[in-house]
Each structure stands twice: as C-alpha cells, then as structure tokens.
A and B are shown apart, each in its own frame.
Chain A
C-alpha cells in the first residue's frame, strides 16, 4: 500500500492542476489523467471499506464521477488529494450505508488459525486476512478511523482531514478500535511480544 499512496501524491500536483483547469474549461477528456493517477489509491481505499474487489471498483468509479461533477467546488485551499479523499470517503460511507458490506459483530469474526491451514506462509496470509476483515466488524464509529489511519500510512492528521474530524477525536476512536481488536485477538499481542523478545535476543547475540 505504501507505494501506491506515496507515488500518487508525489509530483502530481502540477499535473492535477493542469488537468483540472482543462476539465473546467470544458475538456472532459482531460479527466483521464486524474483518473489514471488516482485510480490506484481510490480503488485501494474503497477495498479497505468493503473487502470486495468488484465493489471496490464500483465505489471508486462512483467517487470519480462525483469528483468530476464537483470539480468546480474544490476551492484549492486544501490539496487536491485531501479534497478527493474526503469526497471519496463520503461516497463510500453513503453507498455502504445503502448496501452494507460485511456487518458482523466483532465477536462473530472468524478465528485467525484454521486447522486446515498447513503451511506457515499460507497460515500467516490467512491470519492477516482475517484481522483485516475483522476491521469491518468494528462498530461504525470506530471502523472508518481505522480504515483511514492505515490507508494514510498511520498518519493521524491525514486520516482526520479525510474524515473531517479533529485529530483528538480521531485518536480517541482509533485507540478504542485498537483496544477492541486487541481484546478480540489477544494472542496477537503475545505473539508480538515474543517476536520483539526474539529480535532483542538476536541483537544481543550478534
């Protein structure tokens, strides 16, 4: 994920501004440049909201259409990416309210370790996938801060801007969400402590 967001945000400002001016001047085709540059981040962001590839593309497409229609409303006070992400978050939130994705209570989220999983890599992938899906089982008010915090590479300020919330509020919700996830998957903390301990020991031996 790191690459997708960073790559899109670097050196795109001028190109975005030029394309936006052309679109506002009546050249709809110029919007292609914007879609080309931002399709990766928006599809990935949508994916984190629903964990369904087809749905993620539908949501991202809807966000692009809204952005195209509302381009004149971007006041250029914030960066284009901030505006686009906030608009997309709004679209995803609204669309998923109408047709929800997974809406399980957290205690119904699957267990990370399946008996049928044989290989370590597959086991880890399966476990990670379960943890990521469990985010969608969080209560609504905690779910989105988690999605956006990790989408923005653990940048509280960026996540808060996208949600239109004060940073303190976002931090509080994030903290609560992380506590809920920790209580649902307590063995992950044990595992993390073991890994840290092993890393420290390895360092000492070296």
Chain B
C-alpha cells in the first residue's frame, strides 16, 4: 500500500502533472510528424530547424518579444529557405541546412553572450524545461497536434504520393512543392512548441525514434502513421515518469526510453527477417 502511494506521489504535484501531459503530447506530435521526417530523409532538417529556432528564441528574448512570435517566424523562414535552396539543387540540401541553421544557432549564442539577461530563457530552449511549463505551453502543443492531425488526414493521399513518388505525383496532378511546404510548416510548428519541453539538443531524436521504431513494426504507411504517435506518447509519458525517480533530466530519460524500445524492436525484427530469409532459401 505504501509502495502504491509512493508510485502515485508525483501526481500530487501540479507541475509534474503538467509536465507529464506535455511530454506525452509532445511525444505524440513528434511521432506523427516524424513519420514524414524519417521517410523523406529529413532527419537532418529536423535537427537543423531546432537549432534555427534557438536563434529566433534568443532574438525574441533580447528584444522582449513573445517567444512563439520570434522563434516561430525564424523557424518558419529557415524551413522555407532550406526547402527553396535545396530544390534549386545548386547546393545540396544538407549543405543548405548546415549554412542556414548553424548561422542561426551561432547568432543565438552571440546574443546570449552579449545580453546576459536573456540567458535563462535561452537555457530553457537549449536543454528543455518540462517541469516549468505553463498551461499556455500545453495548449500550444495540443493546438499544433490537432492542426497536424487535421492536415495529415485531410491531405493523406497527396502527402503519401508526394513522399513516396514525387515525380509521378506531380504528373498525376499533386502539387508536390505545396505538399513539401505544408510539411515544412508543420515541422517548424512542431519544433517551435516542443522545443521548450525537451530542448534543442534532444528534439531531433524524438522526431526520429518513434518513427523508425514504428517502421520496424509495420510495412504499411497507414499503420505507421498511428503507431509512431502512440510510441512517441509512450516514450514521452514513461520517460517523464521515470525521470522523477531517477533524478535525471526528463529529456534525456525520454530519449533513452525510446532508444531502448528501438533496440528491442531492431533485435526482434533482425531475428524475424533472418527466419524469413532462411524460409525463402528452401523454396
């Protein structure tokens, strides 16, 4: 009985309840958007955009602007710029991301060094601060989550076609650059609202881990699209809960929990594939 009370103890604190809700929602949202990030080979874009958002957040802090306004505008502009530069194919997408986002990150660091008073909120963006969230943060993540679900369900086939086979999709009447822009906007918005939960340094992992784990579990795009957010929510919620007892920063525990599940899925799939191959060699 005493043990059960201990297990439920963290729920008696509002800051923990809020942290658990936002970690679960952020995990689900990153899991959903992560499907496209992984399948389109955009992992590096996710990583780069989170750094770009840091530059915008730093500028907003220095200018006393609203965080969402500064970081959001900056992130969106960076995302669209990366898409535009890489589509022109003059330089590769990875190089475009390297230039645009590291410049933004460096600007954030410079502002932090020059204007010390902005340091606190900038640290929150770098490392995350899941226990210091406000109701507005929860509403922002929930809002972007609902928007993402509506957009992805509404444009499901076009997004799938443009992701799987962009050239044929274009010939078949799908506005492929339009779909890419939609995904960039959703990715930027996701990073914007989740970056304060788990931080710049770990966000790309939460965009990738649920999706690659879901990919190992299914061969269907439709199933991956609900499996990945479910896994992301579990990673977020369980990681947050364990971090309370382990006394380790929640962002790190969330990612480590996801990594363990990924390793388990990878090992299981490895055994199954080997068995399938062995079976095929008998035919």
Do A and B belong to a common assembly?
no
Q: A residues within 8 Å of B by Cβ?
A: none
